[in-house]
Chains A and B, each alone.
Chain A
Amino acid sequence: MPITENQIISRLGRQKGLYSPLEVLSIKETKKSEPSVKVAIAWQSRRVEFRAVVKARTAPKLVREGLIRLRSYANKKKSLLIVPYLSKAILEMLENEGVSGLDLSGNYWIRSPEIVAIRLDQKNQYRESQPIKKIFSGNSSLVGRLFLSSKRRFDSVNEVWKVIKNLGGNLSLSATSKVLSGMEEELMIEKDRKGILLLQPDKLLQRLEEDYRPPKVTETVRLKIPEGLKWFAKLSSKPWVLSGESSAECYAVTTPSEISTIYTNDFGPFETYKEERFYNIVLKKTDDSFPYFDVREKRGIRWSSPVQCYLELSRLDKREQELATSVRKAILENLK
């Protein structure tokens, strides 16, 4: 069970020695004013009283809401944010706002006229069972991929879900909604009456890269097909797409691949071309939906999306990483 704000207040009141030599003398809630929590902190003979906002979760959006509430208090230097754990991202936000922070793991960032005390070496004791975890990998990543596919505003969650489906993705409406909430918490999108809009494309692409996992391949065969990709171009009824790596030549200046990797969920007509040593096609069977999402068909060839291309190239060797940089630039340029 995730910790609540009341539990944080209660635990802080009971902590003895956690912040030593810093000491939390008292913590109490008051209904009379905003911010509603008063915290008295002492360092040897020095004492300072803060007005605090408590946040039980550390998602950037929630932390920012807490900081906005603290802005209502005129004395910034005596404003304190209390969270389960002071992450690097939260510390940056505290520094920008010029307010102090304290966590339940024993870390503090106190910068008041009376006391300046910093301790940030304590491990996170309150890892959140993150509802937003894994929204950037596997099929959940389809939502993020959609926002990177073109610059547009969506009217509703339902519209996002439908467009994902139209582009070949497979994600339930409830999962789409969950991912959108997570993205909103991470301040990547804005959801309001006007619709849903991407705010930070570069951050989104970075999160997709950090959490990327390759498609789950259940079987691989190597084939020698004399006509190469032209042969595949005739197979309009079979689901197939070039891997992101083999799609590099569609999005970056490079030489064409001599050996192409293709994802498919049906090995049907291909098996007769098996060749283990002198192959020109590597066929990978996967039921994951994301490789087939936002496929770009040009002259009968089904290239993977620019995002899939970027994600695969960025995990390979130096030359591929150079190509990835150019694909990344193009993805972001397209959203300006």
Chain B
Amino acid sequence: MTDNDPLFHSLLELVRELDTDNIPIILGGGMSLYLRMKYLTSKTHRYPFDLQIRSTGDLDLFLSASLISDLEKIEGLKRVLDRLGYRVIPEAKNFQFSKQIMLYGQLRIVRIDLLAAPPDQAEKRKVEIKKPRIKPKGAEGIHAYLTQEAAGIEIGKELVDPRQLGSDLNLKNQILFIPSAYNYLILKLHAFEDRKNRTDNLSDSGRHHAFDLFATIARMREKDWEVARQHLKIESAQKYLKRAIKIRKENFSKLTDLGLLRLRESAMYRTGQEIYDPYLELLANDLKDLFPV
């Protein structure tokens, strides 16, 4: 952690507050991958090189199915956001919040996005779903974006102790998690599929999602592979996993498939192309093993 790392400080500030009410979150998005790459894993002998990952100014928080159906906890989360000065973003009412922070004397914005895993049958009666929004019955001023592909988000989630990140923050509860590498790949495959043919600047034809897939696989440890195998074994009949397999097969089987082309087109890939190119085939094979037909 550096002195001037506002996103990191915002995360720690949030986690400190969530700890008082024991509200667990699973951190997704670019920040999650950044923490995985920088603090929680190191280079593997299979992909022996560094990869640069950057997050934008937002924190994506996945709320588990049990959390999004818990009115008391969700109201607690809303109070935490209020206390920290986050306000609802009018264009994404009640699932995106932002606040101003100072960066080298300049005013900037940090954003929090709330996403939720779909509830199971037992929890469905406790929530109100107006797609894509989901909230516990009775909650006001807060809900989350229902993310079907996050159905298995709790499988293999990894506990993060802020002290692993260079902070001296000592939490009472286990509340900060990142998704398993396998879940991250599932989310990224879906995101790639949604964006691969969109040419607007912010979709980038899915190139950054393809690069994130590459970075995640490059840093998978033996235990991440084991978690992936277990996940596949117990969830293989689930719709979200079947779709992930289909997306992998259609886009990442051969070097000339769209997913691998988008990866090679990404600016981040091009910065180290001569180092990465020899590993493309290994990447395609790893994806095939992880998402077999």
Q: Which residues of A contact B (CB under 8 A)?
A: 248-259, 277-280, 282, 298, 315-323, 326, 330
Contact = CB atoms under 8 A, between A and B. Distances in A.
A254 B101 CA distance: 12
Interface size class of B (residues with CB under 8 A): 35 or more
Given A253-B101, A253-B103, A319 B2 contact: no
A255 B57 CA distance: 8
A317 B211 contact: yes
A317 B57 contact: no
B247 interface: no
A329 to B, nearest CB: 9
Given A251-B106, A253-B7, A253-B108, A318 B208 contact: yes
A-B CB proximity, top 3 nearest: A253-B57, A318-B204, A316-B267
A251 to B, nearest CB: 7
Interface in B219-268: 266-268
9 contacts: A249-B4, A251-B104, A253-B6, A253-B57, A253-B109, A255-B30, A255-B53, A315-B267, A317-B267
B282 interface: no
A322 B57 CA distance: 9
Nearest to A333: B107
Contacts, number: 96
Given A250-B103, A253-B110, A318-B203, 17 more contacts: A251-B104, A251-B106, A252-B57, A252-B103, A253-B103, A253-B108, A255-B5, A255-B34, A255-B54, A258-B38, A258-B50, A282-B271, A316-B268, A317-B204, A320-B54, A323-B56, A330-B106
Given A254-B54, A259-B52, A320 B267 contact: yes
B2 A322 contact: no
A126 to B, nearest CB: 33
Contacts of A257: 52, 54
B49 interface: yes
Identify the interface centre among B54, B101, B104: most chain A CB within 10 Å of its CB: B54
B141 to A, nearest CB: 24
A253 to B, nearest CB: 3
Contacts of B104: 250-251, 298
B202 interface: yes
B8 interface: yes
Contacts of B185: none
A13 B4 CA distance: 69
B207 interface: yes
A319 B106 contact: no
B46 to A, nearest CB: 14
